[in-house]
Structures are given as C-alpha cells and as structure tokens.
Structure 1
Amino acid sequence: MNVNLPNFSEYGYELIKVMGRNRQGGRITYLAQDINRQCPVIIKHFQFMNQANPWWGLETLEKEKELLQQLNHERIPHYLNSFNCPEGMGLVLEYIEADSLSKIGHLNPTQIKTIAISLLEILVYLQQQIPPIIHRDIKPDNILIDDQFNAYLIDLGFGRVGIEEVSGSSTVKGTLGFMPPEQLSGKLTKSSDLYSLGVTLFGQIKGLSAIEMPKYLDHRGSLDLSSLETQVSEEFIAWLSQMIEPNPSDRFLDAATALQKLLPQRMLPPASVTKLPQKTAKPALSQLATPVNRSKTMILSGIVGLTVGISWGWIHQAVGLGWILGLVLGSGLGLIFTSRRSSIGFLGIPSLSCLLGVILTALATGLIINPALIINGSQYSRVDLWNPRDYKVAEGIGFTLYSDRPNNQEDQRLREFLNQFRAEVNRYLFDPGAKSCSTEVHFFREDKNYYAAANYFGLNTDYGFLIRPLVRRPLVIMREDS
C-alpha cells in the first residue's frame, strides 16, 4: 500500500492508487482492493476536513448512491457499499476494467457507431425508469470503453429523477460545451441527454478534447457538421444533426427513437467521395436543414436584411428603396444559410442556390455600402445634411454663388471674397455673354458640408470619392482654406 494514501483498512479496503481528482467537487477517486472479497473496487472519497471542498460535492456522492441503489444495468457500475470516516465519506463502486473515452485515441466510424449504440441502450434503460432518469453530465470523461468497444456510463451524481421543470439553481449542473441549452433554464426532457451524447460523438470523430469543444459551438449551441462529410456517411451526419439540435423539440423524442434510427445506418462515406456521384446514388443531405430550421433561418435572415435596408433607407431618405434592398439582402442571406456548401466539384464551388444567395448578398451590400458612407467616415451622417440650393448668396453673369453659412456676421467679408473670385475666374470659366446661369460655385466653411455637397452633386474629390456626375452644368466646390 502507498504510505501517502489514506488508510481504509478498518473499513475493509486497501487503497492501491489515485484514479482521478475532481477538484471542483472536492472528491478523489481511488482504485482499491476489497480485503474480504479479494477483488478490485472503486472508492470515491469526499473529505470533510478540507474546508476548500464545497458541500455540494458531498451532495453529489449521496445523489449517486441513491440512484445506483435503484439501478441494475450491466454497463452501469453497481453500488457496493458506503462508509463514513473521520476524514469524510466513501462510496464504493464496482470496478470496470476499461479506459475513459477521453483517453482513447482515434476511432473509426464503425467503432463510433458501436459506442453510440451501447450508450443509447443505457439511456433507454434510464429513461424507462419511473420516473425517468436524466444523467445531465454525459461527456468523454464519464464514459468507459472496454476492449470490445462496449460503453459504460459512470458518475450519476448530477443525475435527476423526473423531467418536471425545476429552478435554474438546481438544474445548472453539468459541463459547459456538452450541456444542452435548455439545461441552463431548468427545462429537461428525454432528449436532453441525446444532445450531450451527440456533442460527445462529434468530438470523438474530430479528435477534440473536452476543453476544445466549446470553441465549436455557437451562441445557440449549434455545431457545424460539414467538416465530417469525408469521414462518415451523410446518413449518419443527418442523424447526428438531429441529435444536437439546440431546440429540444427538433431532436429525437427519446433514446429509443434515436437508437431505432441509428441501427440500420451505414457509417462509411462513399468510396468515390472525391468524385461527382451519380444523381441516383447521392442521398440528399437536406435533412441537415429541417423544414422547421430552414423557415426559422429564412425569417431571421429576412429580419436582418430588412433592418439593414430600412436603416440605410432612413439615413438616405429613401425608405422605399431601403425596403427593396433589405428584401434582396435577406433573401441572399437566407439562401446562403439554408443551403449546404458542397466540397464536391472544382474548388468546392457552392451549390446553385447558395451561389445565388452569394450574388444577391453581394449586390445588395454593394448598393448599401455606397461611396457616400466610405468617403465621409464618421463625419458623414445624412446625405441631406444641408441643401446647397437653399443657400444662394449672389448671382453673376454666367454663374451663381452659394455658401453653407450665410447671413452671419462674416457675410459681408464673404460677399467681397466671392465678388473678387467672380472677377478673377470669369474670363477662364464662364461665358460673360450668357443670359442664364451656366455654372455654380459653392463655398464651405465646414468639412462635413463639403463632403455632403460632393455626394449631392456626385463629384470626384481628393478623398477617393467617385461616382457618375448627377449634373451636367459646370460646377466649382471649394472650402474656406482652398
């Protein structure tokens, strides 16, 4: 016996080694020898004497003891004994000669299916209990795999009897990255453990660690399964997609249904995965986007597109055009997000509907992000920041003068400058004999008005602004520092 380990001989056990530590829950797991029966056992030990250990760690052990006493499944370790000691409490369980799934290396698709079936059979048993039992913490560390790839489910300390809605404080138990979204809000169903199992299988296929898993989940708890196309069959991807639906009503109803759907499936992708398959031989992968999810995505895309388009229209006083641009943008986004991107074909060109979505989105975006916004940056807010034609200062032969700040105390100085300007440039720019105004001169004191007028008239400027001119008559725009 290791002298650094606690002495449990008076309780009938000799500790052999530490198997694991749950620092968060304050528990240590030992491999031990049952002195009387001369067989290996597992002892989970919670230490009262360590003040850093949370009391819910003891509650977890007691909960696991309570559940295991009423269960009898060949792939759930059996409860053997428990004892209280001065250092804490010990829970004695059957020893399973198997490694945790988190420590197993690469698994091929057939092995993945064997493990999935084995785990679903355990979940079917748990869900057949009255009331049903929800594990709530399915992850690689809580799954043992033997040499025949049979799976064993351990650590039922977070298990819950019944699926009635409970308060969040008593429900948020589990591991982030593997918990279904509804578990955070206290709504458990028979499909809750299916989500955790689906995420676990995805991680094993991809070779991801538990720490890496949360990085692959979006804010809704969705996973992108497109990267699995060359590793497993499309039928299995569709099945796995339904397992990990963020909305529990979109998943399989229970473990029995999920098991029934999985059993007949092939796991390996077609041998000619890099070639274009025949139309009759290629199963549609549209199951990945169910009608419910497709409609939700289209509606959300439409809302996003209309929000952007109407906002653009309000800024530019063209709400009608904004509605049209918003509908085009929403349709494009909807086609992109509800279409499957295929890795088959030259350079992986997306499917036709997705390609159309890209074109529509690019078209709408190009019209919305127009030069008026690019040139003016943070200073430009509205295309009609001012109406230059409302600020006429003076008229001369062949031209009219405007200013963005007329009728102020500097107006006289401005008029004198404009008259001098007229005298200087007339011979070069204008026809003194013209009977009507042929040229406009706009004078600015504020850069933002200079930019707004440039947009208004569609001028080329030194600020990179380029758009087809909107007026035919000659035009001069200048600033006070010109």
Structure 2
Amino acid sequence: MLEIEQILQNRYQLERLLGNNGIRQTWLAQDLQAPSDMDDSRVVVKLLAFGGSVQWDDLKLFEREAQILKQLEHPRIPQYIDYFCIDDRSLWFALVEEYIPGESLKEKLADNRRFTEKQTRKIASDVLKILIYLHELNPLVLHRDVKPSNLMLGDDNRIHLIDFGAVQDKAVKEGVTFTVVGTYGYAPMEQFGGKAVPASDLYALGATLIHLLTGISPAELPQRDLRIQFANLVNLSPHFVAWLEKLTEPAPENRFATAHAALESLKSGSGLQLVKANQSSPHKEVFNNSGCGIQNTNETVPEEILGWNWGAFLMPWGWLWTNQVWIGLLCFFPSIGLLMSIALGAKGNEWAWKSRRWRNIEHFKQHQRGWAIAGLFIGAPASLMLWAAAIAIVKAF
C-alpha cells in the first residue's frame, strides 16, 4: 500500500494523492535527485496496479502513454521523466512526468466559472497549436481524450494538454483494431467505432469549448440530428457559433480537415459556409453581420474586435469617411469636438463594424491598424500643432 512520504526508486517521495480510481493512482511527488538549480522539483507519478480487475488493454494503454510521451517535446505537454516497476506485494507500473502547476478547466467549471468568447478563443488557439504539433508528427499522434479535466490552465496563464492515457500512435498498419477509449459527450461517434482520425480530436475540442461557454456538459445538452444544440444558450458572434458548429459536425468529413485549418479559420474570421441540417440541397449560408447598421441592436459585434480605436481618436476627421461612421461629423463642432473624439475612440470599432460591410474580421482589423498607425504619425503631431497654435492665439489676445 502506497503512503505519503514513501520514497519510490530511492528518488520520488510521495507528497499528495491527486487521483485514485482503484486501479490507477496519481501522486504529486518530490524528485529528490532533481538538479539543485531547478525552480520546482515536484513531479507527477502515475501508478497502475497490475492484477485483479486490471486488463491487458489497461497495461497496453499505460505503456503506450509512456512510450509516446517519451518522444514528445512541446512546452505545453508534460515532459517524460521516468518509467519503472515496483513490486510491493502487488506489481505497480509507474510513469513519472513533469508537474504543471495550475488548475484544470474542470476545476474552474466546478467553481461555477464561466468563460467569455474572448477567453474561449484564446483557449481554442492554445489547444489547436498543440494538436497541430501532435497531428503533424510522423507518425501522427492522436490524443483521443481532449476534455476540461485534461486541459490545465498553468500559472503561466497558458493551456497545457495533459493525460496521454488514451493516446494513439498511427504507426501501426491500417485495419488493426485499437482499444476504444474516450469520454462520452466529448468523443465523436467514429472514435467509439475504433476509427479515430485527427478530426476526432477537433470534435472533442469543440465539445469542450461548448462546455466552457455554457457551463453544461455536452452529454447533457440537447441534440438534433446528432448535432449539439448550444447557440440559444450563449451570446456569441455568429462566426464563432458557426466555427464551433463545424468543429462538432457528426461526420468527420464535414469538420475541418486539420487543426491548422481550424486555427486559420478561427484567426481569419472569414465567413463559414455550412449546410443546414434540414436542407437536402447544398445551399450555403454565410455568417458575417458587418454593415448591419449602427442602430441595429439585434446583431452581435464580434468580441475580439472591441476595444479602443486609436485611429478614430487621433484622426477622427479622416477616419470617419472611410469607415462611414457619419455620427463622427460632430467632431467638427468646436464645442463638442473633443468629446466626440473620445466617443469615437471608445465606440469606434463597434460603430465601424456596423456602419459598413467588411469581408471578414481580419479585413476589419487590418483597416483599423492602418488608421492607428496613421493616427500616431500624422494625427497626433497635427493635433499637438493645432493645440499649440490655439494656445498661442489665446495668449496673444
């Protein structure tokens, strides 16, 4: 029986039990042989008790996790440290890996934490970059168990992908039956059929993001034609809703083909084209609500474009024409000109998005970046000269 302060392999001193499901235990331990210059000598020790209810498939998965983790080198994946056996009245297999300080997203959800669109996009971007690394290895590696409990928000405020206990290495020949693993609600149907593909990890990511946004496990959300129904529970930009829907399409061929393609779509903000479930014809619907009108309160402005607009604030007299924000003409009235410039700085992004049609979010961002640069190098100096001239005139009289 393993106990606190017990030392394994004359090196790893058990400190605290992190998890125990009967046949598997996870411990936080101190590496007594860690280099003295290391900031943190804590490690995670995963243990599998062989015998009894433990099947050969359990041991195969455990050994596969150790073998593949040993080959991986990514700053957001725990580093492999050691693998050994312990004969302590029962046979234990132990895997030692890097400890990631922080909290899992499951713990955040348990504390009733809800995630905004901006926060969820950041998480999606972090996880997709990890999946790109895994899926582009030769042979490629599938995680097969992306879910909130396996995503750690580290003390570095970055997402780390942990627990490779369900990992699959596609080096084996086609047609071999794999151990069926995954978590209901997050794993797609093809994975339970033993036919996981890169798009299977993307589905799990999409289901995880929906959980973060709604606070409800995807297994408990209603479905229609096997599609998770969540849009009516959240207030998101139409593009992000469409992106999540594509990520969680029931058929893998209807999802993004690669993690790289999913990340590019997330970043570019380009309109997604989806086939509605109740349509038999290939009619496509484009989601892009720019140009909906400044008075329109029914359309959502993408959260990622909100914020201060330096181009509108520093050079309102030019910015308003190309962005078609005609309320900005009030900046030409001396009595309220400064107040209007401040208003344009604060609300300029929202008003510009609603006032004219943009190809996509990236097109909008590039345009506003150009005006911000022009404002800094032209608008700001011009404004300073005008103020200096006005003060000089006032002093002269």
**Fold-level similarity (TM above 0.5):** yes
Residue of structure 1 equivalent to 2:48: 46
For 2:24, which of 12, 22, 27 is the aligned residue?
A: 27
Residue of structure 2 equivalent to 1:213: 218
Residue of structure 2 equivalent to 1:443: none
Decide whether the 8 Å contact of 2:144 with 2:166 is kept in 1: yes
Residue of structure 2 equivalent to 1:251: 255
C-alpha separation in 1, matches of 2:278 and 2:2: 62
| CA deviation after TM superposition for structure 1 residue 5, in Å | 3.4
| CA deviation after TM superposition for structure 1 residue 3, in Å | 8.5
C-alpha separation in 1, matches of 2:81 and 2:243: 38
Distance 1:219 1:160, change over 3 A: farther
Deviations 1:201-221 (A, max 9, x none): 00010012xxx4312253854
Structure 2 matches for 1:172-191, cutoff 5 A?
Answer: 172-191=180-199
Decide whether the 8 Å contact of 1:165 with 1:186 is kept in 2: no
Decide whether the 8 Å contact of 1:165 with 1:187 is kept in 2: no
Residue of structure 1 equivalent to 2:227: 222
2:246 aligned counterpart, secondary structure = helix
Q: Does 1:241 align with 2:245?
A: yes
Decide whether the 8 Å contact of 1:114 with 1:149 is kept in 2: no
Residue of structure 1 equivalent to 2:12: 13
Decide whether the 8 Å contact of 1:101 with 1:145 is kept in 2: yes
C-alpha separation in 1, matches of 2:49 and 2:234: 48
| CA deviation after TM superposition for structure 1 residue 252, in Å | 0.5
C-alpha separation in 2, matches of 1:15 and 1:33: 7
Structure 2 matches for 1:411-450, cutoff 5 A?
Answer: none
Deviations 1:50-83 (A, max 9, x none): 5233343322221111101111000000100111
C-alpha separation in 2, matches of 1:219 and 1:185: 21
| CA deviation after TM superposition for structure 1 residue 229, in Å | 4.8
Q: Does 1:290 align with 2:275?
A: yes
Q: Does 1:36 align with 2:58?
A: no
Residue of structure 2 equivalent to 1:159: 167
Distance 1:55 1:22, change over 3 A: farther
Distance 1:262 1:161, change over 3 A: same
CA radius of gyration, larger in: 1
C-alpha separation in 1, matches of 2:48 and 2:234: 45
C-alpha separation in 2, matches of 1:127 and 1:217: 31
Question: TM-score, normalised to structure 1's length?
Answer: 0.52
| CA deviation after TM superposition for structure 1 residue 110, in Å | 1.4
Q: After the TM superposition, list the runs of 4 or more consecutive aligned residues in structure 1 that deviate by more than 6 angstroms.
A: none
| CA deviation after TM superposition for structure 1 residue 172, in Å | 1.8
Between the aligned residues of both structures, percent identity stands at: 32
For 1:132, which of 140, 155, 158 is the aligned residue?
A: 140
Residue of structure 2 equivalent to 1:143: 151
Q: Which amino acid aligns with 1:46?
A: L
Bigger relative contact order, structure 1 or 2 (CA pairs below 8 A, ≥6 apart): 2
C-alpha separation in 1, matches of 2:24 and 2:220: 28
Distance 1:180 1:166, change over 3 A: farther
Deviations 1:102-152 (A, max 9, x none): 011222221111111000000000011012111111111111112454111
Decide whether the 8 Å contact of 2:57 with 2:179 is kept in 1: no
Q: Does 1:76 align with 2:77?
A: yes
Backbone CA RMSD of aligned residues: 3.2
Decide whether the 8 Å contact of 1:171 with 1:184 is kept in 2: no
Q: Which runs of 5+ in 1 are unaligned?
A: 267-282, 300-334, 341-482
Q: Which amino acid aligns with 1:27?
A: R
C-alpha separation in 2, matches of 1:8 and 1:122: 33
Decide whether the 8 Å contact of 1:136 with 1:174 is kept in 2: yes
Structure 2 matches for 1:262-277, cutoff 5 A?
Answer: 262-265=266-269
1:170 aligned counterpart, secondary structure = coil
| CA deviation after TM superposition for structure 1 residue 187, in Å | 2.4
| CA deviation after TM superposition for structure 1 residue 9, in Å | 4.2
C-alpha separation in 2, matches of 1:69 and 1:155: 13
Distance 1:103 1:118, change over 3 A: same
1:53 aligned counterpart, secondary structure = coil
Residue of structure 2 equivalent to 1:62: 63
Deviations 1:169-227 (A, max 9, x none): 5242111111111112232322110000000000010012xxx4312253854111322
Structure 2 matches for 1:333-482, cutoff 5 A?
Answer: none
C-alpha separation in 2, matches of 1:238 and 1:199: 13
Q: Which amino acid aligns with 2:256?
A: F
C-alpha separation in 2, matches of 1:166 and 1:200: 29
Distance 1:3 1:214, change over 3 A: closer
C-alpha separation in 1, matches of 2:156 and 2:120: 12
C-alpha separation in 2, matches of 1:66 and 1:3: 24
C-alpha separation in 2, matches of 1:147 and 1:288: 38
Q: Which amino acid aligns with 1:134?
A: L
Q: Which amino acid aligns with 2:134?
A: L
Q: Which amino acid aligns with 1:22?
A: N
Deviations 1:153-183 (A, max 9, x none): 111121112287545x524211111111111
Question: TM-score, normalised to structure 2's length?
Answer: 0.63
Decide whether the 8 Å contact of 2:214 with 2:234 is kept in 1: no
- The total of aligned residue pairs comes to 276
C-alpha separation in 1, matches of 2:224 and 2:181: 19
